[in-house]
A and B are shown apart, each in its own frame.
Chain A
Amino acid sequence: MEALIATSTQNGYTDGDIVEAFSLNRIRLAHAQTLTSVQRFPLDAVSGLRTPDTALDKVLAVTHQYKFAFDNDTLTQTDLITGEVTNPAGNFVDYILRRLMNSEHMLFGVTSVTHWYGTLRSNLDAEDVWDVLENCSDYLREDYSTWPVTEIEKRLFLPITMTGKQVTESGTVDVLLSDPTVDEFRSESVETTMDGDEPTTTVLARRRFKVPYWDLSETLGIQPDIARTQMTDVRTSEDIPHVDACIVDKES
């Protein structure tokens, strides 16, 4: 897990707030999407469609639930999770032509044989995506394991790495933090009350969790005055600090 820590009290955030937190799953999904963004896969000059069987085509097949294939006048819908196949009715020639109006459409195939994908899967697993991406490209997931923090963000925040720990027979090992756990670390501090049947949410603070980096200079490897005044990045892949030793719940 990576996090961006506020190094001053500004714009509603207090010093030490976890402004953003990124799970490894989120990091690798973002990179996979960037590497397969539609702009990197130009249209075929003859058919006007995206070339099939590219990395983009294959990645979409594991990130979406449905595949639609149109062959002359028949549309076939395949549930890529259950394998169920149906044949929806409708005028799909007009539908396809309207989609083609967008130069960044994601209709694949050759003339008169077209396919596309619909409905993002609810729980995307970056490992599934990277299994496909590594198979059809030279990209390696290990090279895309850190969030693309920009220079201006390094000046604004303190980027750090944290991990879970588990004691095993061979010693303490690092444990990946799940998406929900990481999502919680970047959540607001809120209070929800009911107005009749209607829930009303009041934001108490922009962030619920903080990392008191000024007390963790040895753990994080940076002095607080440096973190506050200079462009910094103390993310690491070795000796990663334990999340429980770093994070404070402001509501507790």
Chain B
Amino acid sequence: MAEVITSIGTDSSITTGTPSSCSGSSSPYTVAFPSAPSGVSIGDSVSFTDATSFATYTYLVTDIDGSSLELKYLTDDGSYGDTSPCDLYNESFGQASGTFKRTYSTITTWETNFDDTTLYSSSDSATGNCYKDSNFNETFTINGSSSIGLSAVKLTAPAGQRHDGTAGSGVKIRYTGGNTAVCTVNDNNCTVEYLEFDMAAGSNSNNRACVIDTSAYTTVIFSKNIIYDLVGSAPVAIVVNGGNDSSDTRYIHNNLIYDIDDSDDRVKGILTSSTYPTYIWNNTLYLIRTGRSSKNAFAFYGGSTEEMQLKNNLAIMTTSTGAEDFAYDYSSDSNFNGSDFATATGGADDLTSLTTAVFEDYDASPPDFSLASGASPIDAGVDLGTTGGVNIDITGRDRSSDSAWSMGAFQPIPTGTTVTPAAAQTIATGTSPSLTSGITLTPAVAVSVATGQAPTITSGQTLTPAVAVSLATGQSPTVTSGGTVTPAVAVAITTGTSPTITSGGTLTPAVAVSVATGTSPTVTSGGTVSPASAVAIATGTDPSVTEGESGDTVTPASAITIATGTSPTITSGGTVTPSVSVVVASATSPTITSGGTITPSVAATVATGTSPTITSGITLSGIVAAAVATAQSPTITSDTTVTPSAAVIVVSASILPITPYGILYITDPMIRIPSVGSASIKTPSATSTIVSSKEE
């Protein structure tokens, strides 16, 4: 069984790319591009126009590995059939370039194509990834999976396109027509998730966001959706019809429903007419209200056989003019629900008489229905396991490792515990954003981004993503890693006025780059740094790179430490043993200080600028070593032994006291030479004074 992912959206020109090589004798082809096509995702398509046949060939992107894409032939308008992209030419008989675009422009056309044998095989699953290129304006029915025998169907928004629990932040469906429900699910094994249903634009009879119909009763999941502003007669956000038997598995969980406020008609949040089970868990509802005394309002309304199970739901309905209640006809095991009324479901663990104060900002625009700090629904729910994916909250956060579940769709992020999403993005932006992880982060792919005036990223313990990027940009950004960082590829970048990168523990990525740029950047590595390739760069007015206290080990195979700017400083306080290392400080007053052992096989220490200083308080024993200080007032000081087999210590310009072995070039007469065993002194000027070591 394969998952066939296709994209849905209106971007018909995501980017272009020209293949550099192709492999594979038939579809799918592995196609290399000079660089990774920007903005392209699995499920997008790419079209090439062949100048020799005048045909346009289209391929589906089925995998992305850096700049290499797997492309599956879909169609061509010349009916030529499967052809490698590298056999398509432009008008100059060079390689044709392709235009990347979404594969479908509407959800309706995606759903209509479930019986396409060029895309699907029996037992495949179909995933439609919706993109927020523009609002979707349509109704759709999912019921076509059986003709080819699809095992499952999922309509979702991929990471980066999902809402954050507030309206307007992700993929939105805003239907302007009328007649029926916006979304109808009539297939088994179907999931609809991460979508926003803006119902304000519909006509009077458009009063259902989603209907789970009679033929959909096994593993049907409607979750993590936002529904609001229902209008029209008898509006209901979600309707569940019919059913099959007592083993039905229909799940409605982690949805946010608000603003069903009808002046003259009955209103409901979720209505089930099924006489079989429906599991309604962890939903948040607000403002479910009727303004007519002869009508009624319910957050949850069940069939007469009481098969609707309600758990962990939170509904602040506000007062109606007509009859009202939290729920009607629900299963006897319903519990852990929160309501603003005196009764929720009568469970021993229900919370009642709640107010809108449980929400962060229910009346903002867009409203924020996450739980306010200290709200009683926090940690007042029950652990429902992972059935139907209920453990994932509306923002995509996994509750599983939390000590307690909260009521409603929003699970607050606790402090001091473990965060282990499969794919995680942690992003803070704004004036003084701060990301602090005092815990274990083990996503497969992690991106931590902080931007703004004084962003801070702090990781106190273990970071083991396969690919990790910590990016802090802004005026005074700080990235601190206090524990072990072992991604395969890690990049820590801080840019801005006074950026700081501090690594207090072990850094062992295969490839690590620490870059700090700005007015006074600082890069500090306090422990072991042993990537295969490491680059630490600080540039700016007063950059500073510090590697290690005494006893720390810095052992990259290849290390480059560069500080450039007005007064750069590089300090190595421990052992530095790269096989190849370059330490470069350049600009007005660079300083390189090594307080410990530096034993590269090839090492170059270079300080250039107005007043460069190189100080080695210890042993220098490279096979080939060069210590070079050039410019106006250079200084090289070695207090102890210098034993490279070949060493060059060059000081040019006005030279202050030194005690080297080697070759000394003197271009200024004011020199004191305490002990020169073998030196050639070239052409002192007439005003020169040479002072012997005895005199000194």
Contacts and interface: CB of A to CB of B under 8 A. Distances in A.
Given A19-B109, A150-B104, A100 B360 contact: no
Nearest to A185: B177
Interface residues of A, number: 78
Interface stretch (A29-37, A130-138, A162-170, A213-221): A29-37
- Top-4 shortest CB links A-B: A118-B365, A48-B452, A183-B177, A33-B134
B39 A39 contact: yes
Nearest to B175: A183
10 contacts: A38-B132, A39-B39, A46-B453, A97-B431, A119-B365, A150-B45, A151-B45, A152-B45, A184-B177, A230-B79
A188 B139 contact: yes
Interface in B451-508: 451-453, 455, 473-475, 495-496
B198 interface: yes
B361 A199 contact: no
A100 B233 contact: no
A120 B138 contact: no
Contacts of B218: none
A11 B115 contact: yes
B178 A12 contact: no
B575 interface: no
A7 B636 CA distance: 83
Interface in A177-227: 179-180, 183-184, 186-188, 190, 192, 197-199, 201, 203, 206
Contacts of A147: 105
A30 B134 contact: yes
Nearest to A102: B164
B428 A101 contact: yes
Contact of A152 (B74, B137, B198, B429): B74
Contact of A151 (B47, B132, B138, B168): B47
Interface string B15-32: 000000000000000000
B550 interface: no
Interface string B92-107: 0000000001111110
B563 to A, nearest CB: 22
Contacts of B363: 88, 90
A103 B449 contact: yes
A137 to B, nearest CB: 15
B169 A152 contact: no
A13 B102 CA distance: 23
B104 A12 contact: no
Contacts of A69: none
A179 B137 CA distance: 11
Contacts of A187: 177-179
A39 B113 CA distance: 29
Interface of B: 9-12, 39, 45, 47, 56, 58, 74-77, 79, 101-106, 108-109, 111-116, 132-135, 137-139, 141, 143-144, 147, 160, 164, 166, 168-169, 174, 176-181, 184, 198, 200-201, 203, 205, 233-234, 266, 295, 360-361, 363-366, 368, 370, 425, 427-431, 433, 449, 451-453, 455, 473-475, 495-496
A154 interface: yes
Contact of A10 (B115, B168, B203, B475): B115
Given A48-B453, A120-B174, A43 B429 contact: yes
A111 interface: yes
A33 B135 contact: yes
A151 B431 contact: no
Interface in A33-58: 33-34, 37-39, 43, 45-49
A152 B176 contact: no
Contact of A98 (B143, B174, B360): B360
B58 A103 contact: no
Contacts of A155: 75
- Residue of B47, B430, B433 with highest tally of chain A CB at under 10 A: B430
A209 B449 CA distance: 50
B148 to A, nearest CB: 10
Interface string A138-165: 0000000001111111111100000000
B138 A103 contact: no
B370 A152 contact: no
A104 interface: yes
A231 interface: yes
Given A11-B111, A11-B115, A192-B205, A95 B361 contact: yes
Interface string A87-129: 0101010111111111111100001100000111011000000
A24 interface: no
B475 A19 contact: no
A26 interface: yes
Nearest to A91: B361
Contact of A183 (B116, B134, B178): B178
Contacts of B79: 230
B198 A94 contact: no
Given A34-B9, A45-B495, A187-B178, 14 more contacts: A4-B109, A43-B451, A46-B452, A48-B429, A48-B433, A95-B360, A150-B45, A152-B58, A179-B176, A180-B177, A187-B177, A190-B179, A198-B234, A203-B141
B132 A37 contact: yes
Given A11-B111, A101-B428, A118-B365, A199 B234 contact: yes
Contacts of A206: 141
Contacts of A96: 430
A15 interface: no
B508 to A, nearest CB: 28
Given A183-B177, A187-B178, A46 B102 contact: no
B120 to A, nearest CB: 12
B474 A100 contact: no
Nearest to A89: B363
Contact of B180 (A49, A88, A95, A188): A188
- Residue of A4, A29, A102, A201 with highest tally of chain B CB at under 10 A: A102
Contact of B109 (A20, A77, A98, A106): A20
A99 B165 CA distance: 10
Contact of A102 (B116, B169, B451): B169
B109 A157 contact: yes
B132 to A, nearest CB: 7
A201 B77 contact: no
A153 to B, nearest CB: 5
B453 A153 contact: no
A206 B178 CA distance: 14
Given A11-B115, A31-B10, A45 B74 contact: no
A48 B451 contact: yes
Interface in A49-98: 49, 66, 68, 77, 88, 90, 92, 94-98
A79 to B, nearest CB: 11
Contacts of B116: 152, 156
A151 B433 contact: no
Contacts of A90: 361, 363-364
A29 B134 contact: yes
A48 B455 contact: yes
